[in-house]
């Protein structure tokens, strides 16, 4: 019932006009059908209804049209029609009394909170004043009856309207909170989608760009005029191995992106124990690579840290192939005890062969993506010139716990 009353303002002005006509019809029915249902102040209690009574009822019903748009004005008109009973007609008809209570209720629900409080205070003072006057002039018994009647006629609509208004305000506040929660969820969803797209872009670069760049560079070497057939055969074998590996990793990525009904289960993420294959590929591409693994015995980091370290070494070797062909490269892995941070160092000397012109050799997004990867597991990475060569240094927490990323120069190559 309270919910229905709280939503009574959801209608057109024509609805209030219809309500006014309904109240008028009910008042006429009570005037001529049940004339004894009235309050007689003076005069004959059996006096029939007159045109004046109908006029007062009509004015009160006309005020109902203003009960939403100008509720205080409508209540003022309704109060005048109510006071016309004891001061003009000598009686108060039940229809006029019902219209007044409806206007009083609407005056507590629809206007501003400040206006509603003023109206409630005014009628509370009126009730107290009339009760005090009855007590002085007519005694305690009649004063108690008058107070009871005033509470029923005025107090009940005031309390009911206040309660309905409170429920309506709570509903509005809850609706606003729900809308804000929906907007926050939409923002979180957009942020999650953007983060996932960035992660997929990093994975795509790690899986495809490194191997395809090496394939393009090695193919260019094999296409040089007068190339040694044995070297060409070796290069083509490396190109085939890199292509097959790239296809395998692409298949794994696509399997992860497909729905849960994928037939082929995804493979395990790459780990630092698989660096020998990367080193062999780099050697076949023309680099002289030395791998120094000085990690503590049985020091195996979580899968996310191992994968990040693997990608750092992979991207560093790919950059060396692209930017320093034929150079000597040293890859170093170290930890400070079984639980210490994992330190990765990849340094390459200057190129010993002319730089190739393979497509995508100057993309410049590899190390930037690695910096994002390192930050995701709480680590840091720095890269920059080192004498006549280039050095990449990374530090990853062994347990993958997040902390503030250390600063450094991330020079994408």
Residue 404 binned pLDDT confidence (cut-offs 50, 70, 90): very low
Which domains, from first to last, does the chain contain?
Answer: 2-183 (no CATH), 196-396 (3.30.565.10)
Burial of 330: CB neighbours in 10 Å, binned 0-12, 13-18, 19+? middle
pLDDT 10s digits, 33-62: 777 776 666 655 555 567 788 888 888 888
- Decide: helix, strand or coil at residue 365: coil
Task: Round to whole Å and give the CA distance between 79 and 53.
Answer: 15
**Residue 361 pLDDT greater than 80, yes or no:** no
pLDDT 10s digits, 144-195: 776 777 777 888 888 888 889 889 889 989 999 999 999 999 999 888 888 7
* The model's pTM: 0.47
pLDDT 10s digits, 58-72: 888 888 888 888 888
Phi/psi for 14 (5° steps) reads: -65, -25
% of the chain residues with pLDDT over 70? 74
DSSP letters spanning 246-301: HHHHHHHHHHHHS-TT-SSPPPPPP-GGGHHHHHHHHHHTT-EEEEEEEPPTT---
Task: Round to whole Å and give the CA distance between 278 and 331.
Answer: 11
Burial of 367: CB neighbours in 10 Å, binned 0-12, 13-18, 19+? buried
Nearest to 127 by CA among 151, 157, 100, 158: 151
CB 375 within 8 A of CB 341: no
**Residue 241 pLDDT greater than 80, yes or no:** no
Nearest to 396 by CA among 306, 323, 324: 306
């Amino acid at each position: 019932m309270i919910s229905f009353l709280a939503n009574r303002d959801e209608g057109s002005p024509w609805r209030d006009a219809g309500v006014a006509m309904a109240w008028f019809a009910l008042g006429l029915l009570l005037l001529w059908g049940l004339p004894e249902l009235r309050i007689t102040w003076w005069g004959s209690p059996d006096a029939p209804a007159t045109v004046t009574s109908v006029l007062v009822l009509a004015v009160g019903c006309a005020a109902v049209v203003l009960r939403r748009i100008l509720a205080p004005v409508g209540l003022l008109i309704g109060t005048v029609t109510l006071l016309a009973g004891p001061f003009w007609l000598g009686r108060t008809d039940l229809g006029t009394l019902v219209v007044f209570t409806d206007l009083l209720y609407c005056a507590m629900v629809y206007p501003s909170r400040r206006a509603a409080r003023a109206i409630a205070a005014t009628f509370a003072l009126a009730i107290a004043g009339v009760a005090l006057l009855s007590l002085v002039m007519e005694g305690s018994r009649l004063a108690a009856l008058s107070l009871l009647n005033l509470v029923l006629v005025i107090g009940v609509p005031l309390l009911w309207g206040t309660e309905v208004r409170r429920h309506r305000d709570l509903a509005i506040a809850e609706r606003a909170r729900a809308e804000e929660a929906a907007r926050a969820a939409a923002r979180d969803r957009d942020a999650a989608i953007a983060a996932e797209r960035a992660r997929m872009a990093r994975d795509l670069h790690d899986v495809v760009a490194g191997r395809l760049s090496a394939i393009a560079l090695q193919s260019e070497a094999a296409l040089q005029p007068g190339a040694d057939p044995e070297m060409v055969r070796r290069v083509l074998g490396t190109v085939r191995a890199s292509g097959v590996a790239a296809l395998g990793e692409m298949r794994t990525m696509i399997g992860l992106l497909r729905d849960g009904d994928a037939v082929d289960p995804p493979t395990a993420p790459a780990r630092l124990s698989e660096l020998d294959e990367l080193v062999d590929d780099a050697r076949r591409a023309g680099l002289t690579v030395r791998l120094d693994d000085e990690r503590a015995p049985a020091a195996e980091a979580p899968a996310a840290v191992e994968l990040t370290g693997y990608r750092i070494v992979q991207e560093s070797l790919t950059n060396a192939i692209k930017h320093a062909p034929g150079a000597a490269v040293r890859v170093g892995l170290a930890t400070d005890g079984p639980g210490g941070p994992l330190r990765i160092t990849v340094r390459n000397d200057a190129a010993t062969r002319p730089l190739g012109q393979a497509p995508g050799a100057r993309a410049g997004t590899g190390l930037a993506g690695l910096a994002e990867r390192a930050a995701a597991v709480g680590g840091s990475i720095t890269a920059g010139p080192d004498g006549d060569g280039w050095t990449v240094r990374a530090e990853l927490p062994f347990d993958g716990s997040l902390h503030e990323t250390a600063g450094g120069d991330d020079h994408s190559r």
